[in-house]
């Protein structure tokens, strides 16, 4: 039986039905490259303070006439956004500028682990050079496994549900102003997280800052689930090979030799 589309539309109106078009999917990760891939350290870490693990990711946002891209870096311990950038392209500056912003704002000690997907933006020479310059240890997700970067995915979901999908934006600058307002005046200082005991990222960090400096640097990395041996994140090398393990657990920044 053939049915005219006008009849379908009329019947849907009578039943108060609305047709929702699927959103176009945009790829933001290009992992088809020959650049170095680093060992996944994030899923092996037990965090005890801020600036032990940073997680980075990129998402797209659809405006009326174009797609734009948002890159963020979060502190995995507090979920606080420590760096972000909005741009029209996936050029290297989309990733490097949030990293430089995070470093300038947080001034982390050497040994912070930086976790991302295997995208070319995070594997590029320029990006890795900034990490090495500041003693930051690169870490990358397993192929096609978003769970390794769950905190960034959760932030993007919150941003789009509570800000992006609820508003319309005139242009890129208008969107940038709204995102800045969302992050700096709502998400970081006020947005409550069940994982943080229903505290905001900034409130959680303030309470965590009451611990001693030694305690805040005591993150450990376990390479074998059944083993009690752990490795300080400050001593990890490059590449995907597992470093040799020390005989006893060490704190971040202590030598294992």
| Average pLDDT for the chain | 82
Tell me the average pLDDT across 128-147: 90
Q: What is the pLDDT of residue 113?
A: 97
> In the chain, what are the domain boundaries?
42-221
pLDDT for residue 230 is more than 80 = no
How would residue 12 be classed by pLDDT, with cut points 50, 70 and 90? confident
Q: What is the pLDDT of residue 195?
A: 93
How would residue 251 be classed by pLDDT, with cut points 50, 70 and 90? very low
Torsion of CA 117, 205, 133, 138, to 10 degrees: -20
| Record: fold of 42-221 | Nucleotidyltransferase; domain 5 (3.30.420)
Q: What is the pLDDT of residue 20?
A: 57
State whether the Cα torsion 251-105-121-135 is positive or negative. negative
Contacts of 199 (CB under 8 A, 6+ apart): 192, 193, 207
To which H or E segment does residue 32 belong?
A: none
Burial class (CB in 10 A: 0-12, 13-18, 19+), 65: exposed
Judge whether 74 and 152 are in contact, CB under 8 Å: yes
Q: pLDDT, tens digit, for every residue of 157-186?
A: 999 999 999 999 999 999 999 999 999 999
Q: pLDDT, tens digit, for every residue of 21-74?
A: 555 544 444 455 568 999 999 988 999 999 999 999 999 999 988 999 999 999
């Amino acid at each position: 039986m053939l049915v005219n589309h006008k009849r379908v539309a009329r019947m849907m109106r009578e039943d108060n039905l609305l047709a929702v078009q699927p959103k176009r999917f945009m790829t933001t990760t290009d992992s088809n490259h020959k650049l170095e891939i680093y060992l996944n350290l994030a899923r092996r870490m037990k965090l005890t303070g801020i600036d032990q693990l940073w997680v980075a990711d990129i998402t797209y946002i659809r405006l009326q006439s174009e797609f734009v891209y948002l890159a963020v870096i979060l502190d995995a311990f507090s979920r606080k956004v420590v760096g972000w950038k909005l741009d029209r392209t996936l050029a290297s500056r989309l990733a490097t500028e949030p990293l430089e912003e995070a470093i300038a704002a947080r001034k982390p000690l050497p040994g912070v682990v930086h976790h991302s997907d295997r995208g070319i933006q995070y594997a590029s020479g320029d990006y890795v050079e900034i990490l090495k310059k500041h003693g930051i240890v690169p870490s990358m997700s397993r192929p096609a496994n978003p769970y390794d970067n769950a905190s960034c995915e959760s932030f993007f979901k919150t941003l789009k549900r509570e800000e992006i999908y609820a508003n319309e934006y005139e242009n890129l600058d208008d969107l940038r102003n709204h995102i800045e307002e969302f992050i700096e005046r709502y998400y970081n200082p006020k947005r409550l997280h069940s994982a943080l005991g229903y505290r905001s990222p900034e409130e959680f960090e303030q309470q965590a800052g009451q611990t001693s400096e030694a305690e805040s640097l005591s993150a450990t990395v376990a390479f074998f689930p059944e083993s009690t041996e752990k490795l300080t994140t400050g001593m990890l090398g490059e590449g995907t090979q597992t470093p040799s393990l020390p005989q006893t657990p060490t704190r971040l920044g202590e030598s294992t030799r």
